[in-house]
Amino acid sequence: MGAGATSRFIRPLLELLFSDLGPERIAEIHFWIRVIAHPTEYAILAGCLVHGFVRTRPELSPGGLVLRSLIGVLVVAGADELRQAASDARTGSIQDVGLDLAGGLLGAAGSTWLVRRTGNGMESGEEAT
């Protein structure tokens, strides 16, 4: 979703919540919401991938979980940027893939840490390490 599409609902919400801010400040906040959204979305995707790998491949090491999740994030982020590059209304960017991967790394590492710490998703009788 491009800036024009998100501004239809984010800008009015920001203006409602922060009526004392000028249009330039609202535009800046809108920009930062969009920047933060990218890594957040891919952090959630990576966390879901870690969860799936823990359930289907419990023998994977923490590094294996993170690596496989990052490969999944790279495939989705790359496909999204290729789709955007083919669109007249959008532009694809390798920098966006890097931002998406950074979010994915945080999500995968955090989810792997949580799984190993809590033992969630491990077979009964196994110890969390």
* 8 Å CB contact between 84 and 91: yes
* pLDDT above 50 (res 124): no
Question: What's the rounded Cα separation, in Å, for the pair 126 and 69?
Answer: 22
DSSP state, residue 61: -
Helices and strands (H and E) in the chain: how many? 5, 0
For range 102-129, the mean pLDDT: 78
Mean pLDDT is highest, among 25-39, 66-80, 106-120, for 66-80
What percent of the chain shows pLDDT beyond 70?
87
**What is the number of alpha carbons within 13 Å of residue 74 lying toward its C-beta?**
7
The span from the CA of 47 to the CA of 106, in Å, is 9
Does the predicted TM-score (pTM) go above 0.85? Answer: no
Q: Residue 99: what pLDDT?
A: 92
- Over residues 47-92, the pLDDT tens digits come to 999 999 999 998 999 999 999 999 999 999 999 999 888 887 777 7
Q: To the nearest whole number, what is the mean pLDDT of the chain?
A: 86
